[in-house]
Chains A and B, each alone.
With several copies, the nearest count.
Chain A
């Protein structure tokens, strides 16, 4: 049962129970919904970016499994001060590091939802500006 206890260890469950940066920004530069239609997981990601493309503020909301919500919460803690183009290069290895554990193929799409939604938000923001 070690594996599950790792995936559902205290830090992750904490982020699930009391997600960080949960809510909405006053005037986000961009706000995007991300969904895992096959699971029903939902993450709404809001970013504020400055002219140099640096993320200055972030908020998210959503619902779904612990993995999707905790991953999104963990991610938001890392985003402020990062440049948009740094984010677009990230993938599974980064999320694995954030969570501190390999998620495995059956659930990796849950773990990636926050990151992928953020990347979609950045792409949208770029197209707008």
Chain B
């Protein structure tokens, strides 16, 4: 592990950066301080190479060809699924490979939801959910006339009020759908604590793991979740890729949503029977190169060490939380006060400088942050904010990146206090 670590075993971001050639480029002539990894992570060289390698030497349609190259592609695809499953701590037979977390979350709502919800049933989500874990539930509850209820957030910090869960569980929700790590608050949901509570009233727990899997050790089976969704591009894989883990007995009882090739058993002119297991949900040609890229991303994250990544990111976030109020005194920081209760990101707003102006001003120092509602408009509405600025970190984030961030914040303050 020492290639990426200090002698003391900590992640050394300066070493890690060598694996990310894009960080040495100068977009617009300025050094790149990429602090938007929560939107999409940068891809390390081994991932880019794995894609090229597959396309240059192993490309064929998996599951189909009765020839050597086809078997190679099948093997590569299935090995990549297995590698990803190992990374996530689940059996490969329960891991549905899809195009994105959005697809995965839609599958839960539209397949499990439509099959299991009816009039008056309750679905519980938090007020902080990403649109991808909210709108599908709005749609399905409306269709079947079920009720959508919310775990509220604190009006000021946005923190999810988990202590309200107990009361809400009296509604006996059939499913509780929540983010593992909030993509605005950075807070980590206390899955180990709430999963048994939810199960004790007969509910299921569906977890949107997009912001968790690359930023901290996650063993899905250990979380108590019944469904768990993730996106490859947040982990260093390609944009396309992601998946859904679900317990085998849940998958078995779910109907496919998308139909076509590769997910069938027998097709006649007027009807069709579907394949078993994960295959039933994977219509069309499998994305072999994307899955190979995802496996390479998992491999690389394991090489860095997920605990080490988390520790490094917490150190970076600690500094952000400490120095942000100095650089921009009116900053309203959302989410937990303590960096240890976070994974990967900090969002804030300022009355002095609007988030978009901030992002533009930071860009002039090459600092890339995200400004907006981060696909969580309802949360922003609850907080009476139209936009926030989000700083997100990664294994490759250095103190120099944060230096540039704070200099940029001081620029902004100077401009707007003028």
Contact = CB atoms under 8 A, between A and B. Distances in A.
A5 B365 CA distance: 13
Interface in B238-297: 264-266
Contact of A37 (B265, B360, B411): B265
A10 B71 contact: no
B360 A4 contact: yes
Contact of A42 (B67, B75, B386): B386
Contacts of A41: 356, 386
Contacts of A63: 386
Contacts of A42: 386
B31 interface: no
A98 interface: no
A7 to B, nearest CB: 7
B95 interface: no
Contact of B372 (A35, A40, A66, A67): A40
A65 B364 contact: no
Contact of B386 (A7, A40, A105, A106): A40
Interface residues of A, number: 25
Interface string A3-23: 111011010010000000000
Contact of B361 (A4, A38, A106, A110): A4
A106 B364 contact: no
Given A64-B386, A65-B354, A37 B266 contact: yes
Nearest to A35: B266
B65 interface: yes
Given A65-B356, A65-B357, A105-B74, A40 B416 contact: no
B356 A67 contact: yes
A39 interface: yes
Contacts of A35: 266
Nearest to B265: A37
A104 B205 CA distance: 41
Given A63-B386, A65-B354, A106-B67, A8 B75 contact: no
B56 interface: no
Pick the most buried of B266, B360, B363: most chain A CB atoms within 10 A of its CB.
Answer: B360
B68 to A, nearest CB: 8
B415 interface: yes
Contacts of B360: 4, 7, 67, 106-107
A39 to B, nearest CB: 6
A63 B411 CA distance: 22
Contacts of B67: 106
Interface string B370-389: 01110001001000011100
Given A13-B418, A42-B386, A65 B355 contact: yes
Given A8-B415, A65-B355, A65-B356, 11 more contacts: A1-B364, A3-B364, A4-B364, A4-B411, A8-B361, A8-B416, A38-B373, A39-B387, A40-B387, A63-B386, A66-B416
Interface of A: 1, 3-5, 7-8, 10, 13, 35, 37-42, 63-67, 104-107, 110
14 contacts: A4-B361, A37-B264, A37-B377, A38-B373, A39-B372, A42-B386, A64-B386, A66-B416, A105-B75, A106-B66, A106-B67, A106-B359, A106-B360, A107-B66
